[in-house]
Amino acid sequence: ATGSEAKKVRTTCPYCGVGCQQWLHVKDGRVIKVTAVEEGAPNLGRLCVKGRFGYDFIHSPERLTHPLIRDGEAFRKASWDEALDLVAEKFKQIKQLHGPDALAGISCARSINEDSYNMQKLFRATIGTNNIDHCARTCHAPTVAGLARAFGSGAMTNSFAEVLGAKLFFVIGSNMTEAHPVASTFVKQAVRNGAELIVADPRFNGIAEHAHTYMQIKVGSDVALINGMMHVLITEELYDRDYVIANTVGFDELREVVMQYPPERVAEISGVPAETIRAVARKMAAVRPSMLMYTLGITEHTCGVNNVLSCANLQMLLGNVGVEYGGVNPLRGQNNVQGACDMGALPADYPGYQKVTDAASRAKFSQAWGVELPDTPGLMIPDMIDGLENGTVKALYVFGENIANTEPDINHVEHCLRSAEFVVCNDIFETETTRFAHVVLPAAAWSEDDGTFTNAERRVSRVRKAVEPPGEAKPNWWIFKEIARRMGQEWASASGQEIWDNEVAPLSPIFSGIRYQRIETDGLQWPVPDEDHPGTTIMHKDGKFTCGKGNLSALEWAPPAEVPDEEYPFVLSTGRRLYHYHTRTQTGRCEGLNTLLGSETADISAEDANALGIGQGEKIRVVSRRGSVEVAARITGQVPPGLVWMAFHFREGCANWLTNPAFDPISKTAEFKACAVRLEKL
Ligand code: SF4
């Protein structure tokens, strides 16, 4: 727009999985302000500090504006033709010499669905491998695997709109006031209006301040805690017997294991008094339904899938699945981590969770893409990274992720990246990861392209172009299409809308009824099987699970892979803070957010600080078996003695110099929430 009037462009927030609807106010080709869309789902006119003030990065002078090609230790500017030709040639050469499985790709949970669709298509249809994954591996892969096993569908069962009407919340392992702020405002409003809130978390976090009952569980004791609660429900016959008989399988096996977890034993494992465990179980049986909400405190463990299954067990036992104001509700972290999963940026799944091992699905995608497709699941991110070191992976394509900061044990990740024969990155900024690239391709940001995001409640919402990309930056879907063309495949779709309407929707039954013209305002929640379907606010209604009957799982508790000892006597747990988002590639370029939080701290208890002679704000060294960081101590009542809590937003003081690359055996999600450290006063 020109003159004094700004135009307003409706879009979806580029930060967390709540998926708030915003107006970008644009004047003279620049975004000058962000406000909330006044009404409608999911945010009802609300935005948090990141959504409201986290937009400076769009016009940062540090944006990548030209393709870059490595030239010794530095990069030189290149034309698109030169850079894309080099990528295509190198990919063809590696494929010819070592086979397609020597190439691997990591897609982006921040970019539009249509970008992830094209990236997985590039790997599957053009390169010929299922080595495609994304950062759900780092966060919610246990949700995808666990809820798929329990219910047949790995996504949030209910909707944010129900939160305001719910009667009881069980929030476990969720720092929602900082990581999903607008969702937490709904919970707090419901509590003010009379709903009850039970919180279980090792750290007395922001939502715990509003709880009627707070259970300060020991890190990694979730399976035991929930088994203890189910012990009470079963022995006191408080569970929903009719629901369990009619709608689930596996109760007898579950009961047999749960009987080994009386509250007194669980109290020893979890640190939660037996009477509190009994009281919470009785409360949840008395006030039904309840909404169970969780985040990465559940998933980022070596038992992450079992933690998710425990949540599903509890809610099925109470008959709380498939009902309004109930369900199992994982709060997905990134704005489009649900969407990147949905689009098939997973090693075993085509778009819409159709399996690469299923012959009929494979035949459908083979026909649509005009090529034979591989039938074995591809590598997950930890194996891609290790593959760079052991030589099985020669080339890694990293799209929009900063794995040199987000994966556990940064020293190891950087060693592997240095071992790679060829690394390509699409990004909007140079990052700690692009330092290892041979080619860096400058991408359009979320405000510079048309497409869709899918939020935590499965809502597919529009993302709209408000301003032009800087310099020669291009949409990511275009970059993948151009590489495919140079490798011998012409793809017809030439916009986000064409990719969705002509490929994603026709090929994926859960999206069949979604077309761009249907999601101009509030979006639609999948599954949407046809164009008259209104979308699905509650899944598994009337006991009709996607997999038939719900699967109860008998689960034993196991401790974290690394527990404190004499040398490393503290537990380190990690998480996110309100004012920044992941590795700050975006929020670190926002002046207001940097003013609000400019550095990392290690949060420790007053008891531990006193014992070690550490004062508030003093620099300390936190040391694990894998590395050490120097960081300011923040003495707080939020953490109990024995626990250290840190985030991964700042490179200096990033918790991932310390975290343990021990993985859940099913999802290969790392145990970011538990490792052993010692503290040294400097
Ligand atoms: Fe954006 Fe999440 Fe904040 Fe909403 S709650 S404004 S989606 S960061």
Q: Give ∠ CA 339-343-344 in degrees, rounded to 5.
A: 125
User: Does the predicted TM-score (pTM) go above 0.90?
Assistant: yes
Q: Where are the alpha helices (DSSP H) in 152-292?
A: 176-179, 181-192, 222-235, 241-247, 251-258, 263-270, 274-286
ipTM of the complex: 1.00
Copy the structure tokens of residue 583.
């590795």
**CA of residue 350 to ligand 1 center, whole Å:** 28
Residues near 390 by beta carbon (within 8 Å), at least 6 away in sequence: none
- pLDDT recorded at residue 334: 86
Domain 141-331 in this protein, CATH class: alpha beta
- Cβ neighbours around 369 below 10 Å, total: 17
The domain locations on the chain are 7-59, 68-137+336-511, 141-331, 570-681
* Cβ 182 under 6 angstroms from ligand 1: yes
- pLDDT recorded at residue 3: 52
* Cβ 26 under 6 angstroms from ligand 1: no
- pLDDT recorded at residue 411: 95
- pLDDT recorded at residue 587: 86
Three-class secondary structure of residue 452 per DSSP: strand
Residue nearest to atom 2 of ligand 1 (CA): 16
Note whether 668 and 381 are within 8 A (CB): yes
- pLDDT recorded at residue 229: 98
Strand ranges of the sheet holding 103-107, from the earlier edge strand across to the other edge:
74-77, 68-71, 439-442, 422-427, 395-399, 103-107, 132-134
Atom of ligand 1 nearest to the CA of 183: 5
Residue nearest to atom 5 of ligand 1 (CA): 182
Residue 584: HSE in the Cβ half-sphere, 13 Å Cα cutoff: 24
* Cβ 36 under 6 angstroms from ligand 1: no
Atom of ligand 1 nearest to the CA of 36: 6
Three-class secondary structure of residue 619 per DSSP: strand
The pLDDT tens digits of the residues spanning 117-158 come to 999 999 999 999 999 999 999 889 999 999 999 999 989 999
* Cβ 331 under 6 angstroms from ligand 1: no
Atom of ligand 1 nearest to the CA of 48: 3
| Fold topology of 570-681 | Barwin-like endoglucanases (2.40.40)
Atom of ligand 1 nearest to the CA of 181: 5
- Residues of the chain short of pLDDT 50, as ranges, are 1-2
- pLDDT recorded at residue 1: 44
* Cβ 16 under 6 angstroms from ligand 1: yes
Atom of ligand 1 nearest to the CA of 51: 6
* Cβ 179 under 6 angstroms from ligand 1: no
CATH of domain 7-59: 2.20.25.90
- Cβ neighbours around 59 below 10 Å, total: 16
* Cβ 13 under 6 angstroms from ligand 1: yes
* Cβ 50 under 6 angstroms from ligand 1: yes
CATH architecture for the domain at 68-137+336-511: 3-Layer(aba) Sandwich (3.40)
**CA of residue 665 to ligand 1 center, whole Å:** 32
CA atoms of 138 and 140, how far apart (whole Å): 7
Residue nearest to atom 3 of ligand 1 (CA): 48
